[in-house]
Amino acid sequence: MSTLISRNPATGEIIQEIQLTSVESMTEIFERAQSAQKQWANVPAKKRASYLLQLREVLVQRADELIDIISRENGKPQFEALSNEIIPSADLLTFFAKNAPRVLKDQRIPLVLMKHRRSDLNYWPIGVVAVISPWNYPFLLPFADIVMALVAGNAVIFKPSEVTPSVGLRIQDICSEAGLPPFVLQTVIGTGDLGAALIDKKPGKIFFTGSVATGKKVMEAAARHLIPVNLELGGKDAMIVLPDADLDYATSAALWGSMSNSGQICASVERILVHERIKEPFMELLKAKIRLLRQGPSVDGRNDIGPITLEKQKSIYSQQMEEAKAKGATFEIGGEFSSDRRYLAPTLVSGQEIEETSIYQEETFGPVAAITTFKSVAEAIEKANHNRYGLLASIITKNIPLAEDMARQLEVGTVTINEVVYTAGLGETPWGGVKDSGFGRTHSEAGLYEFVNVRHIHKPRSSWLYFKSPWWFPYTTFQYITFRLLLNLYRRSWVEKIKIFPHFLWNFIQFIKLEKRL
């Protein structure tokens, strides 16, 4: 197979036939990237940041074209392509254009003991980084990593998902149109074998977003070359609805959190934990809102939920639903595929018996939510944490102080209070998980530091203020006594410290005088 065929998941129509990147060409691609990166790294950070503003202008100008290809190739509604991918991308460009030069400047480390010396942190590019991205947010997720990598001075080799390659190529197009130097960003098209070849070329770091299973393979391959990795993997995210919650607000949050992008979001609300006192009214109102969702092809803004993007994901839905039925779960609504199996009806499953089944414990990645109840806050926290994933959790309540206390007990990378999902699109805030949801962060200042090496520079505070360090050879009894006095200055009692300090200071001065005479 020398070409890859991109199709619309709603209709099956061919969008584009794309030439595959050969494994043999990866050597040349890397050599070009390495050469381009050396020149790009020498461009001042402020000038690299100004490039992001030009890229933002191109993004806005070509927004309609980008929205169209995202919607057609991924299947999501055009409004979601705009609101969940293009606008967050523009916001991210704005944040890093403004803040990256400051974040990447050398930073001084205050020294407590060695006042005569100075330490600075110096940030420098990793080199050539690999960005391997998924199909569910085919624009925003890779674009964010690419932007951060570029503004930090790296070159990027980008492999988009084979399910959404056309979107990946559009990212390459707009970056080139905005004036990015040749070969600083190169997009390669292929399947798993190309990803393996990409890793074998030993990039400076790998940024992978995708499933846990594939993430483990990436990490295993990277380990053979000691390549650092940043992994943003799956989630089985819980929403906790406390008894004081406004039901209209809570059900609307649950609806969008679980069903947007057909539930194909790592941060999707897949587990809903509702206080037993409000379960029934919550359930009835949520079902009523689900019935109003318009499911169908994403054309002209006439739908709320698009098709299932990935064919093999449908077997996971089937397996999980069959297991839940066998365990006695109640299917409150949905649970059926359309006649052409392009769509799964929005599905709500309930029952305490499902808590140890795959539909409650394993990532579904579809328009399915499982509901159980809890009696106390402690029980809710325990149930939310009883999962191998740790990406995001949300809490719906009017009691914000209580929610903040709960948030500090949840084993996840992000907790949203009276909100769901969307912080994954904020440029200012870090995104990433714990446990099987991966490690490392993207977005925010913390995320930008993932794209640089850190160098510590230690030097005298001035060209004249330096002397031989008092711990150098030869060791003497006087030296030992001086350092023993120094140790006593770490005692808790200020009285003791004050008594000791003059003796230490006298010894230290004598030591320096002796060193200068030598």
The closest alpha carbon to 207, from 222, 225, 187, 226, belongs to 222
In a domain, 12, yes or no: no
The closest alpha carbon to 429, from 186, 51, 95, belongs to 95
The closest alpha carbon to 71, from 334, 412, 299, 231, belongs to 299
For residue 320, the domain's CATH number is 3.40.309.10
Angle (CA) 443-447-449 rounded to 5° is 145
pLDDT of residue 68: 97
Query: How sure is the predictor about 1, in pLDDT bands with cuts at 50, 70 and 90?
Result: low
pLDDT of residue 299: 82
Residues paired with 345 in a beta bridge: none
| Number of domains within the chain | 3
- DSSP 8-state symbol, 331: E
Q: What is the pLDDT of residues 360-369, one digit of tens each?
A: 999 999 999 9
State whether 184 and 46 are in the same domain: yes
Angle (CA) 197-199-200 rounded to 5° is 60
* Cβ atoms of residues 403 and 381 within 8 Å: no
In a domain, 13, yes or no: no
Tokens of 133: 């991205």
In a domain, 301, yes or no: yes
In a domain, 439, yes or no: no
The pLDDT mean for the chain works out to 95
The closest alpha carbon to 354, from 321, 309, 396, 384, belongs to 321
Per mean pLDDT, which of 118-127, 467-476, 500-509 is the most reliable?
118-127
Query: Does residue 518 carry a pLDDT above 60?
Result: no
In a domain, 174, yes or no: yes
| C-alpha atoms less than 13 angstroms from C-alpha of 136 in its C-beta half-sphere | 18
The closest alpha carbon to 25, from 221, 193, 142, belongs to 193
* Cβ atoms of residues 240 and 380 within 8 Å: yes
State whether 197 and 268 are in the same domain: no
Q: What is the pLDDT of residues 235-258, one digit of tens each?
A: 999 999 999 999 999 999 999 999
CA 396 to mean position of chain CA atoms: 23
Q: Which of 456, 476, 507 is the last residue of a domain?
A: 456
For residue 36, the domain's CATH number is 3.40.605.10
State whether 226 and 246 are in the same domain: no
Pairing state between β 237-241 and 347-350: unpaired
pLDDT of residue 430: 97
Decide if 232 is catalytic: yes
Active-site annotation holder among 80, 85, 162, 232? 232
Mean pLDDT of 465-482: 87
pLDDT of residue 510: 85
Burial of 13 (0-12, 13-18, 19+ CB in 10 A): exposed
Tokens of 182: 């040749």
The C-alpha atoms of residue 302 and residue 297 are separated, in whole angstroms, by: 8
Q: Which residues contact 305 (CB under 8 A, 6 or more apart)?
A: 77, 259, 262, 293, 294, 295, 296, 343, 346, 367
State whether 49 and 196 are in the same domain: yes
* Residue 77 belongs to domain spanning: 30-233+445-456
Q: Which residues contact 149 (CB under 8 A, 6 or more apart)?
A: 129, 131, 155, 156, 207, 451
* Cβ atoms of residues 205 and 453 within 8 Å: no
Task: Spell out where 152-194 has E strands.
Answer: 155-159, 185-187
pLDDT of residue 515: 66
Query: How sure is the predictor about 517, in pLDDT bands with cuts at 50, 70 and 90?
Result: low
State whether 191 and 78 are in the same domain: yes
Decide if 322 is catalytic: no
In a domain, 24, yes or no: no
State whether 301 and 378 are in the same domain: yes
Query: Does residue 166 carry a pLDDT above 70?
Result: yes
In a domain, 462, yes or no: no
User: Could you tell me how many residues make up the chain?
Assistant: 518
pLDDT of residue 511: 79
State whether 371 and 349 are in the same domain: yes
State whether 168 and 256 are in the same domain: no
Helices (H) and strands (E) in the chain, counts: 18, 20
Name the strand (E) or helix (H) holding 478.
Answer: helix 477-488
Pairing state between β 229-232 and 438-439: antiparallel
State whether 161 and 202 are in the same domain: yes
State whether 96 and 188 are in the same domain: yes
Query: Does residue 112 carry a pLDDT above 80?
Result: yes
State whether 208 and 307 are in the same domain: no
Query: Does residue 516 carry a pLDDT above 70?
Result: no
* Cβ atoms of residues 347 and 295 within 8 Å: no
In a domain, 353, yes or no: yes
Q: Which residue has the tokens 């197979």?
A: 1
**pTM of the full predicted structure?**
0.95
Query: Does residue 500 carry a pLDDT above 80?
Result: yes
Query: How sure is the predictor about 508, in pLDDT bands with cuts at 50, 70 and 90?
Result: confident
pLDDT of residue 301: 79
Q: What is the pLDDT of residues 399-442, one digit of tens each?
A: 999 999 999 999 999 999 999 999 999 999 999 999 999 999 99
The C-alpha atoms of residue 226 and residue 205 are separated, in whole angstroms, by: 9
Q: What is the pLDDT of residues 260-305, one digit of tens each?
A: 999 999 999 999 999 999 999 999 999 999 999 999 998 877 899 9
Burial of 294 (0-12, 13-18, 19+ CB in 10 A): exposed
Active-site annotation holder among 80, 85, 266, 363? 266
State whether 156 and 241 are in the same domain: no
- DSSP 8-state symbol, 44: -
